[in-house]
């Protein structure tokens, strides 16, 4: 059974659109993943610096246009919690990236298969 040229062109355009959308999403996810990894690194460095300070040290956290005194243990706990959340987000972004890369690859393979096969099933 062969597919008409018009139907073949329409199908190729649809698959190509899916591939382009997947490529755009891949770029977005990679950017988000890099951003989260930078945030994690910053939190890790901050936590390491806090570990060298005595517990009684006055530490301040920026809140809007002002600074608020925060106990060192509370800040360490908050940074640890944030890092765990970011690790989960990076892991989820990695899964999404894998899915999008697979989708893009499959779309390209389908287009190549249709063009090589001349639309014959």
Q: Do residues 80 and 47 make contact, with C-beta atoms less than 8 angstroms apart? A: yes
pLDDT number for residue 121: 46
- Helical axes 5-51 vs 72-117, angle rounded to 10°: 160
Position 2 scores a pLDDT of: 63
Residue 65 has a pLDDT of 93
pTM, rounded to two decimals = 0.76
Angle at 12 between CA 9 and CA 17, to 5 degrees: 125
Task: Please report the pLDDT score of residue 48 as a whole number.
Answer: 93
Note the pLDDT of residue 1. Answer: 47
Model pLDDT, residue 8: 77
One pLDDT digit (tens) per residue for the chain, 121 residues: 466 778 778 888 888 888 889 899 999 999 999 999 999 999 999 999 999 999 888 999 999 999 999 999 999 999 999 999 999 999 999 999 999 999 889 888 888 887 787 545 4
């Amino acid at each position: 059974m062969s597919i008409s040229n018009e139907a073949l062109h329409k199908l190729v355009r649809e698959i190509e659109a899916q591939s382009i959308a997947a490529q755009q999403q891949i770029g977005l996810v990679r950017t988000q993943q890099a951003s989260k990894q930078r945030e994690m690194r910053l939190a890790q460095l901050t936590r390491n610096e806090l570990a060298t300070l005595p517990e009684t040290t006055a530490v301040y956290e920026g809140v809007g246009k002002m600074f608020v005194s925060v106990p060192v243990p509370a800040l360490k706990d908050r940074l640890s919690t944030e890092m765990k959340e970011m690790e989960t987000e990076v892991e989820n972004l990695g899964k999404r990236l894998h899915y999008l890369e697979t989708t893009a690859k499959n779309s390209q393979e389908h287009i190549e298969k249709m063009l090589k096969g001349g639309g014959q099933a």
